[in-house]
């Protein structure tokens, strides 16, 4: 068996489904950084936890590769959604919520404008950087939906906006995002 240094997506998927270890190493070397970036944009304050999630994500990719259906999207899209879902699950886990409560108590003193600006500086990576270009009322919805994992219904309730409006605004925001990704 030769050792390919590059794979087309087609070859890579095939090799992964054949449980080719080399292909999996290649997958990690080429995509771990991108997936880690999205994980860190969701789990913003705990690098150790973020790297635990990255580990979990790759193990899930290896386990679930059989279920990946190329007709429904690119391999990267599939992996990105696994990473996003795993990060949001962690964010919403009880143990994470508890650790947040403990950490946030002293921060409450500075809650307000000052805190928001530092928060923004920390978040200035990847997609979040692009989000800054959106109108604030759009940005907050994408932030809540994509990075916090709230459903449209939850957001509608939280923001006291009709569900239809939430949906429309998010769709519009994503279309703008598409333009900024060019």
Binding site for other proteins (CB under 8 A): 1, 17-22, 24-25, 28, 31-34, 36-38, 40, 47, 51, 54-55, 58-59, 62-67, 71-74, 76-77, 80-81, 84-85, 125-127, 129-130, 145-146, 152, 170-172, 174-175, 177-178, 181-182
- Residue 91: CB minimum distance to other proteins, A: 15
- Residue 153: CB minimum distance to other proteins, A: 10
Q: Which is nearer to other proteins, 107 or 122 (CB)?
A: 122
Q: Which is nearer to other proteins, 109 or 181 (CB)?
A: 181
- Residue 45: CB minimum distance to other proteins, A: 14
Classify residue 179 as left (phi > 0), alpha (psi -120 to 50) or beta: alpha
C-alpha–C-alpha distance, residues 149 and 85, integer Å: 8
Chain centroid, CA 178 distance in Å: 16
Chain centroid, CA 180 distance in Å: 18
C-alpha–C-alpha distance, residues 178 and 148, integer Å: 20
C-alpha–C-alpha distance, residues 147 and 126, integer Å: 12
H-type alpha helices, the chain = 9-17, 21-42, 47-64, 75-92, 94-107, 113-122, 126-131, 136-142, 152-159, 163-180
Q: Which is nearer to other proteins, 140 or 174 (CB)?
A: 174
What would the two tokens of residue 59 be? 């193990």
Place of tokens 């759009």: 138
Q: Which is nearer to other proteins, 33 or 98 (CB)?
A: 33
Q: Which is nearer to other proteins, 91 or 170 (CB)?
A: 170
- Residue 114: CB minimum distance to other proteins, A: 26
- Residue 118: CB minimum distance to other proteins, A: 19
């Amino acid at each position: 068996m030769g050792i390919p240094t590059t794979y087309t997506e087609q070859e890579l998927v095939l090799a992964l489904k054949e449980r080719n270890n080399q292909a999996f190493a290649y997958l990690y070397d080429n995509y771990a950084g991108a997936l880690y970036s999205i994980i860190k944009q969701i789990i913003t304050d705990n690098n150790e936890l973020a790297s635990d999630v990255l580990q979990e994500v790759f193990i899930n990719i290896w386990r679930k590769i059989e279920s990946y259906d190329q007709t429904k999207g690119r391999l990267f899209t599939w992996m990105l959604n696994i990473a996003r879902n795993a990060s949001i699950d962690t964010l919403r886990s009880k143990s994470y919520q508890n650790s947040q409560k403990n950490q946030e108590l002293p921060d409450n003193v500075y809650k307000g404008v000052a805190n928001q600006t530092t928060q923004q500086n920390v978040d200035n990576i990847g997609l979040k950087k692009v989000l800054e270009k959106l109108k604030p009322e759009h940005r907050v919805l994408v932030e809540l939906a994509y990075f916090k994992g709230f459903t449209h219904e939850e957001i509608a309730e939280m923001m006291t906006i009709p569900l239809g409006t939430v949906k429309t605004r998010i769709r519009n925001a994503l279309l703008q995002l598409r333009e900024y990704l060019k």
